[in-house]
Structure 1
Amino acid sequence: MKLRDFVKLYGAWSKLIRTEWEALMERLEREGREDERQKILDELDDVRIYGGSVLAKMAEIVVRYRNDRYRQASGGVERKRI
């Protein structure tokens, strides 16, 4: 993979993560789950303070909340992946 292609791919990935992150934060605020929202922001601050990739941590949190929403919508039953 050429460096230019990698940079474009990484840029697209980071834009997607930030868009999903903003949607998650807005949804938590709209649903009145301010304590949970603050807990997530504190978790992200820990990454900033102690070092690490903030973008990767944002992606991890977004995926975690998506999986939780999926489990809640399916009644707690996870589908098996083929």
Structure 2
Amino acid sequence: MILSCGAILHYAAAAGHAGADLGSRAVYESVLEATAAGVRTFDLGGTASTSDFTTDVIQRIKTKLEVWSSLGTTV
């Protein structure tokens, strides 16, 4: 479901909505990084609850957007 949000943001970016592509990138990267770091739900062989996984991904997204903003990153 989280990746679906990333896909919607990508679609919004393609439709010309400023900043949506950066949000999409943050979502995709954060989900992949969380999974690679071992934060996985039961269906992926992990022990994290859905809430634990979601909380981790949200924190990663926030961090990315803060860092990118401080660097003046745009897509």
Do they superpose with TM above 0.5? no
Shorter-chain TM band: 0.3 to 0.5
TM-score by length of 2: 0.43
TM-score by length of 1: 0.40
Greater helix share, 1 or 2? 1
